[in-house]
Amino acid sequence: MKDDWLSNPELYINRELSFLEFNRRVLAQAKDDGIPLLERLRFLCIACSVLDEFFEIRVAGLKQQEAYGAEQRGPDNMTPSEQLRAIADVARELVNEQYRVLNDVLLPKLDIQGIRILERDDWNDKQARWLKRFFNRELAPIMNPIGLDPAHPFPEPLNKSLAFIVTLRGEDAFGRRSGKAIVQVPRALSRVVRLPESCAQTPNEFVLLSSIIDAHVSDLFPGMTATGCYQFRVTRNSNLFVDAEEVDDLLRALEGELSSRRYGDAVRLELAQDCPQELEVFLSEQFRLSPDDVYRCNGPVNLMRLSAVPELVDRPELKYPGFTPSIPEKLRTTNDIFEAIRQGDILLHHPFESFVPFIDFLRQSARDPQVVSIRQTLYRTGKESAVVEALVDAASSGKEVMVVIELMAQFDEEANIELATHLQMVGVQVVYGVVGHKTHAKMSMVIRREGRTLRRYVHLGTGNYHTRTARLYTDYGLFTCDEAIGEDVQQVFQQLTSMGKVRRLKKLLQSPFTLHKTMIELIERETGLATRGKPGRIIAKMNSLIEPQIIQALYRASQAGVKIDLIVRGVCSLRPGVKGVSDGIRVRSIVGRFLEHTRFFYFDNDNDPDLYLSSADWMGRNFFNRVETCFPIENEGLRRRILRETQFYLSDNSQAWVLQADGSYKQMKATKAKRRSAQETLLNELADD
């Protein structure tokens, strides 16, 4: 066949190794002298947290495949076993680099600023006495050490919880000689303890909980002596399994699965650097892990715990400058958001522009006697949500409120179960979408009686309805009362709540029905134009690019002469710069103060462009296993605005990383005079002072 060359594994970057390259880019922020010091510490913690989730989900899945003897291969043709070996090599290098950055770079710089994390050898007598009292008062009463003997088998530590393995000398009160014990640290305890002014030598001196326990662990074993005390942490498989064919009640089935996440199969063991080899072997056997699964830590196990330090330190000069998201004049100068939307579509770009207008949209809907119905999707919302409060107020005032909650939002399942229960108790109609297809679409629709007609007001977004992440993630949100879009959104809500057949939508593209097919067609349209000698052009921005058919269509487009710019924050399996295949494709990743989360797709169409915003990445799961929406931007002014803002990203030379043909990324460097940053430019242009 003429397209056999597209199956060449060398044209595809392994998705897991690509993810680890993203982790490397995040870690690089912790090394950047141009970033405020406490923000660099935050980036180090984020790199640790991102790696945790990678092991919990991706590595766990590969281990399951390996255990079952699966030979499933992706386009890169790597087996699960081959991927696990490659992951172990790269991940160990990243972990070692994390601790080098902490010990050799950040801690010395923090110390210069009077922010000290004291090790045991640093304590003076006064500090040691205070910490002894703290241990006796706050820690010892709630800790339950377990001596290992036939009556006390090895316990199962919770997923990612801090624990110690302790070696002991002597006999306990019953004459037992255990030799070993496990001390599990309650999760309720803060991992960072601030020393009080009475014994601190600087305003910001801290001691890690692990250091306090290590110093006083013998007190937990009266009559015995601890001869060694070593931190460890086990990461477990956190994938949840719900059989779509067997489940009758998704909420109850999911509640049953959540407990298994805490005690799933072990996939990684993190261990103190100085732990003796025989104890490593002992722990590995208990968790049924191989030497490749053990990661030695030259410092505190779980660096994410250090994220408390920037929160505890009041040093604004060591953090990013604050800013106030702006509100567009069209919304700022009116008390009637519905009138503003009737005058024309409104686009918001978060976090540079405020998320408050969406909250106001719901609050005004709750109060307005003309509003008869509100429909809303919720994927991640946060525990204390202004969105939820507005929906509750609307239900309390007699509006018909229906909410589609995605219970299977990864790591937010428990919070979403609580949310669903709360909303149902106040009269909100709650549905859980479609079993087997996550509802990832970001939609809100208000139906309002105006004269003799009902008008639909719609908000569509690329990100979650979450007030906190709206300050941290870049996302677009569109307000419109376009009749066709309103009808489409209503149909999608009906699909989620009823069992009817899918009818063709007028303007929206939707997964799992039309989005993938249409994206392929739009790419092929540019290919056809280029083949006929016209200037084909594609610009796309997303979090991940993995789906093979999309990649193949992009390769064919590049061969035809289409100029393609891809802004892919995280995983990218497409290999750019391959001669004769992807010469015309450039891929860059922007890693900066905010997490890039917008998804937009631009197809020039011989200067008659189509531009879409979407909740979906170009991944198989988004195209085929989720309910997603992709919506057109038809207002010419808004299209020009989005393209102009896109140029900021394409010209960024300070926070951009360019993907190379070998799968590595090269950071762009610019002189101070010629420095360009998309995020900083958008802050300057859109945010208030």
Q: Would you call 601 helix, strand, or coil by DSSP?
A: strand
User: What amino acid is encoded at 357 in this protein?
Assistant: P
Q: How many CB atoms lie within 10 A of CB 576?
A: 23
Q: Which of 440, 459, 466, 516 is catalytic?
A: 440
Strands 371-378 and 400-405: parallel
71 three-class SS: coil
In what helix (H) or strand (E) does residue 516 lie, and over which residues does it extend? helix 515-531
Is 422 among the catalytic positions?
no
Please name which of 465, 242, 507, 462 lies closest in space to residue 374, comparing C-alpha atoms: 465
Instruction: Kindly tell me the burial class for residue 239, based on how many C-beta atoms sit within 10 Å of its own C-beta (0-12, 13-18, 19 or more).
Output: middle
Per the listing, tokens 């360009």 go with 676
Within 10 angstroms of residue 291's Cβ, the number of other Cβ atoms is 10
The beta-strand segments (E) located in 273-418 are: 294-297, 346-350, 371-378, 400-405
Find out whether 622 and 511 touch, Cβ atoms under 8 Å: yes
Cβ pair 275, 165 in contact under 8 A? yes
Residue the block writes with tokens 């085929």: 624
Residues linked to residue 230 through DSSP beta bridges, in sequence order: 165
Please say whether the beta carbons of 471 and 444 come within 8 A.
Answer: no
568 three-state secondary structure: strand
What's the 3-state SS for 95-154?
HHHHHHHHHHHHHHHHHHCCEEEECHHHCCHHHHHHHHHHHHHHHHHHCCCEECECCECC
Q: What are phi and psi of 593, to 5 degrees?
A: -60, -40
Angstrom distance (rounded) from CA 360 to CA 254: 33
Q: Which residue has the tokens 């999911």?
A: 254
* Distance of alpha carbon 508 from alpha carbon 628, whole angstroms: 10
CA dihedral 164, 166, 172, 177 (to 10 degrees): 130
SS (H, E, C) 624-674: HCEEEEEEECCCHHHHHHHHHHHHHHHCCCCCEEEECCCCCEEECCCCHHH
Q: Considering only CA atoms, which of 49, 303, 271, 100 is closest in space to residue 191?
A: 303
Residues recognised as catalytic: 440
